[in-house]
Amino acid sequence: MDIRQLTYFMEVAREGSLTGASKILHISQPGLSKVIKNLENELGVLLIDRSEKTIQLTDAGQELFHQSQKLLSEYEALTEVIRDTEQLKRGHVRVGVPPVIGTSYFPSLIAGFRELYSGVTLTIVEEGARSVADRVDEGSIDAAVVILPVCSTKFEIYPIVTDENKLIVHTSHPLAKREFVSYEDLEDENFVLLNENFMLHHHILSACREAGFEPKITFKSSQWDFLAELVAMNQGISILPRPILERFNSQKIVQLPIRHHSVKWEIAIILKKGKYQSFALRRFLEFVQENIQRSF
């Protein structure tokens, strides 16, 4: 028994005749009669009393008619849901966005996506890049925005932005008048950095170690603006992405390019390899790739 057989049976029951039902269904009367007969043979019962001039349902036919009404209604609703999902009238996307990235790029992207696809629920999880990458790996979120590099064996990686990190120092700092610095110049400095939940923290440590020293970290935070305030109070130096610093206006700090071992701020969206990607998720990824450059 399949949906087609039930649909044909229901039309025959409503019309009370094979002739009327065959016209509505655009099928020949013998063809329709054969479908009903096959359904009866499959179920092992008579559904239609053929002894009268007009079609009458048997007891089994009456029961099938009532049960099929509910079944076909649910089937049509399910079909509509699937169609709506494909057309992005509904759906759910869960995306992890580190605050340090979200502040710079994503408010306008999120607003733009929601305006176009109001039926799609977009849930944003704000945690550090390492945390959201772990969430993608375990399957609790669909995608994450991270700072590269990440493990390419676990994730599908879609690069979206490349920018630079800059050193920030107080205006009175000896390095403040330099045109640029290298990591070797920072060996004796006190660092105030984003904490271990952020990939940038680990990138900076790695670059310092490549330059031959272990950085002296006097303060760690999850709030980039707090770190910038500490630098403005001459409590240390920090390294932060250029787009974030563009949003921090202070006459007490100086931004300096980092030469040679400068770690680029490379942002990507990652998805778990081999995991099904919903229509809404694929469209969100496309939307970000198409519109990210307008966000800064």
pLDDT of residue 80: 59
Q: Long-range CB contacts (< 8 A, 24+ apart) of 152-159?
A: 153/273, 154/272, 154/273, 155/270, 155/271, 155/272, 155/273, 156/270, 156/271, 156/272, 156/273, 157/268, 157/269, 157/270, 158/268, 158/269, 158/270, 158/271, 158/285, 158/289, 159/266, 159/267, 159/268
10 Å CB burial of residue 153 (0-12, 13-18, 19+) is exposed
Question: DSSP labels for 160-205?
Answer: EEEEEEEEEEETTSGGGG-S-B-GGGGTTPEEEEE-TTSHHHHHHH
Three-class secondary structure of residue 212 per DSSP: coil
What pLDDT was estimated at residue 149? 80
**Which class is 3-86 in CATH?**
mainly alpha
User: Would the CATH topology of 3-86 be identical to that of 164-264?
Assistant: no
The predicted-structure confidence for 220-240, as pLDDT tens digits, reads as follows: 998 888 999 999 999 999 999
- Predicted local confidence at residue 81, as pLDDT: 64
CATH fold group of domain 91-159+266-295: D-Maltodextrin-Binding Protein; domain 2 (3.40.190)
Residue 14 CA from chain centroid, whole number: 46
Asked if 96 and 141 count as a contact pair (C-beta separation under 8 A), the reply is yes
What would the pLDDT profile of 123-145 be if each residue is shown by its tens digit? 998 888 788 999 999 888 999 99
Radius of gyration of the chain from its Cα atoms, rounded to whole angstroms: 32
Residue extents of the structural domains in the chain = 3-86, 91-159+266-295, 164-264
> What stretch of H or E contains 8?
helix 3-15
User: Token pair 């790739």 is at which residue?
Assistant: 289
User: What is the predicted pLDDT for the residue at 147?
Assistant: 83
Closest C-alpha among 55, 14, 66, 52 to residue 33: 55
E strands, the chain, are: 48-49, 56-57, 91-96, 120-125, 143-147, 155-170, 190-194, 216-221, 238-241, 253-257, 264-272
Q: How confident is the model at residue 189 (pLDDT cuts 50, 70, 90)?
A: very high
- The segment with the largest mean pLDDT, out of 34-38, 208-212, 290-294, is 208-212
Backbone phi, then psi, for 89, in 5-degree steps? -85, -15
Selected from 3.40.190.290, 3.40.190.10, 3.30.70.1520, 3.40.50.150, the CATH number assigned to the domain covering 164-264 reads 3.40.190.290
The per-residue pLDDT for 75 is: 76
pLDDT of residue 83: 64
Rounded CA separation 224/226 (Å): 5
Looking at residue 84, its pLDDT comes to 58
Percent with pLDDT over 90 in the chain: 32
